[in-house]
Structure 1
Amino acid sequence: MEAGQIQSSFFNQIKKQLPPHLSLVDEIADILDVSSDSAYRRIRGEKQISFEEIQKLSVKFSISLDQFLHLKSNSFLFNGYITNDSDFNYDNWLNEVVQQLAFFCMHTPRHHYYVAKEIPFFYYYLIPEIAAFKSFFFMKSILYYADWKTARFSVKDDYSRYYETWNKISDYYANIPCTEIWSIENITSTLHQIEFYRVTGALKSNEDALVLLEKFEELLTHLEKQAEYGVKLKYGQKPSEGLASYNMYSNEIIMGDNMQQLLLGKNLVTFINHSILNFISTTDEMFNDYMKKTISNLAQKSTPISVTNEKERLLFFNRIRAKIAASKALILK
């Protein structure tokens, strides 16, 4: 491939990553601090971009040059954030989730694939008590905030300052068609967290534990309704035409890893979970093609439980409910 073709391909890759309402020329001009005319000439290949400019654009848009230079390497470029850094906190993490979901919703077509190890975390924000507990857990046990070291949780605590952000997450996510692969063990880690906090005194009362378990039963009923009708729902919303599609699978023998892949227009991006709360992402074509095949193969080896297959759907959700009931019995004995 000649230099001009490589440069053209480079800018085409950047264009694919821009939301539809943004101008490629304006973005390039702003990042490189050049005029619109100068940006045009670079995009058209009339002016060669420098190594410094390639570096700026590659960092900004998380682009691997392997795919343009045809380097036969096993390296993939990922982009991400570290949430427990001194200049990044849980509030910033929530806002980043909102921004990412808003960006996803700008694309048509769009589809979200989620290979779940736990309940997909977007659903936590449908119910305030669950969102509050998970936020408490993240800040106390994952981010290790010093102020939360001796903190205790109650469903009556005031987390209202987060309500608007939680609602945005839920609303955006409800507008993204989705395919999820679940296991009945997806609830297990959360049940362990509730029980651990209960016996160690991090919950203010046993009643708080019971209320949380009841709220997870409510969430389960919501998810079961999504699966039954095959559409994404906001909390309390009735199924209707025109809603985002929802495909749910159960897998008895393979635990997921919270890996996600998104189809955005004609492009794919994969998100890999690491260090519990964080994700890194890549737009590398070879990596995404491989992950797409992996998800497809896993779905083929899983049982579809949305829309059709009512018996398997009932069995799946009832088995999860049995786990919640066992946790309740442990508290009440």
Structure 2
Amino acid sequence: MKKKNESQIRIQVLKHILKNIPENVTPASYLSEILYISLESAYRRLRGEVSFSAEEVILLSHNLNFSIDEAFELKKDLAVFNLDGNLQQNTSEFLYSVIRIYDDFFKRSHPANVESFSSEITGNHLLHIFLLLYKNLFKFFYFQWARQKSEFPSCTKLSEISIPADLESHRLSIVETMMHAENITYIFDKNTINSTVDSIMYFFRLGLLDKEELMLLSEELSLLIRRIEEEAASGTNKIGNKRNYYIANHVDSNTMYSIYNNVHESFFWMYSVSPVRTNNKKVCVNHKEWIETLKKYSIPISKANEFARFEYINTQRRYLSSQMKFECS
């Protein structure tokens, strides 16, 4: 097969971008606004004189809901994966960039921007997006990550660090944005909170958390368990958007599959806070099939299945109480 030269690839990507730009706006104005470039720079790209950078193509793919794979016409057995965040950044910058990815994703899925949206999330422990919901849990997560990266001495206590104001503001923003996602299904491992509780107790026994901090973290985990219980019982969140819960004996990994405006997107969390993402349709469809298989062998606890819900919620509460109650007293 004959290889494409740089000019052919540039024209190919440009055609795909133009095909997806809304008809009611001029391409130059749209590119100038989205990419924060001058009109002249936009026209140079439209004339094919300058190539779009990788960052620009990614940004446009997010805003125009197209697959990068399709734009570059990759072979069917190849897929593009994006790793968000830069591990070389300090913890504040890194978490800010990762939260921005989540925030952009949930804003794209807002009912005002899409005709329909559904997402399915699998978790073998509490995902970072849940820790974002609570101030002290997020601070503990920040502390844990910064310590792992050796940004302060290992003897530093949780009370000695603080969350930068702009990062806390961004956290609050995504909490609001996440509420508006229309339809989310969660498939959790039966021991959802265990690893988070174990991590907290590890640092407490090292003397890096005091009893007051331990109590605050315990209270927020209790609030999270209650939140899951209430959403599972009603089948909706506080503003009426659908929330379904399933419990599996074991979940291999933390992932998220979403579809909106006929665009597929998959997230995979491995050993980092930042997800690996792809819009490759084949990968996403296979991911969806895996989730459906997992769901088939899981127990639904939403709405009518009160006994299974009661058993799952009490398992979380018992573990939390058994590990923290005595220490907090």
User: Is TM > 0.5 for Structure 1 vs Structure 2?
Assistant: yes
Higher mean alpha-carbon deviation, 270-279 vs 316-325, is at 270-279
User: Is residue 2:77 matched to residue 1:77?
Assistant: no
Counterparts of 1:258 and 1:223, CA distance in 2: 17
Tell me the equivalent position of 2:125: 118
Asked if 1:272 corresponds to 2:285, the answer is no
Q: Hey, what's the Cα distance between the residues in 2 that align with 1:29 and 1:277?
A: 32
Secondary structure of 1:180 counterpart: strand
Which is further off, 130-139 or 159-168? 159-168
Distance 1:80 1:34 in 2: 30
Alignment of 1:231-270 (within 5 A): 231-233=236-238, 243-252=240-249, 254-270=250-266
CA distance in 2, matches of 1:58, 1:138: 30
Pairwise CA distance, 1:302: 1.1
Matched, 1:317 2:313: yes
**Which aligned pairs between 1:87-166 and structure 2 lie closer than 5 A?**
88-105=93-110, 106-141=113-148, 144-147=149-152, 149-154=154-159, 159=163, 161=165, 162-166=167-171
Distance 2:54 2:141 in 1: 38
Identity of aligned residues (%): 14
Do 2:232 and 2:243's aligned partners in 1 also have CA atoms closer than 8 Å?
Answer: yes
Residues in 1 aligned to 2:306 and 2:220: alpha-carbon distance in whole angstroms = 24
**Take 1:153 and 1:225, find their aligned partners in 2: how far apart are those partners?**
31
Whole-angstrom distance in 2 between the partners of 1:271 and 1:171: 21
Separation of aligned partners in 1, 2:188 and 2:130? 14
Residue 309 to residue 285, structure 1, CA distance change in 2 (3 Å)? same
Residue 295 of structure 1, CA deviation: 1.4
TM-score (norm 1): 0.77
When structure 1 is superposed on structure 2, of 160-169 and 190-199 the one drifting more is 160-169
Give RMSD over aligned pairs.
3.7
Equivalence for 1:236? none
Distance 1:81 1:302, change over 3 A: same
TM-score by length of 2: 0.78
How far off its partner does 1:230 sit?
0.7
* SS at structure 2 position matched to 1:132: helix
Kindly indicate whether the alpha-carbon contact (under 8 Å) linking 2:136 and 2:220 is maintained by their aligned counterparts in 1.
yes
The answer as to 2:184 corresponding to 1:178 is yes
SS in 2 for 1:151: coil
CA–CA distance in 2 between the matches of 1:24 and 1:249?
45
The letter for the 2-side match of 1:182 is F
Q: Deviations over 1:196-237 (max 9, x none)?
A: 10111221x23422332232112101111011111123xxxx
Distance 1:95 1:184 in 2: 30
Partner of 1:228: 233
> Structure 1, unaligned stretches of length 5 or more?
234-241
1:305 aligns with 2:309: no
Q: What does the per-residue CA deviation read over 1:273-331, in whole Å, with 9 as the maximum and x for residues that have no partner?
A: 13321112111111111112221221122111111201100001101111111102563
Matches within 5 A, 1:38-49: none
What is the distance in 2 between the residues matched to 1:59 and 1:267? 14
Q: Which runs of 5+ in 2 are unaligned?
A: 1-7, 62-66
Secondary structure of 1:82's counterpart equals: coil
SS of equivalent residue, structure 2 residue 312: helix
**Secondary structure of the structure 2 residue equivalent to 1:263:** strand
User: Match for 1:210: what amino acid?
Assistant: M
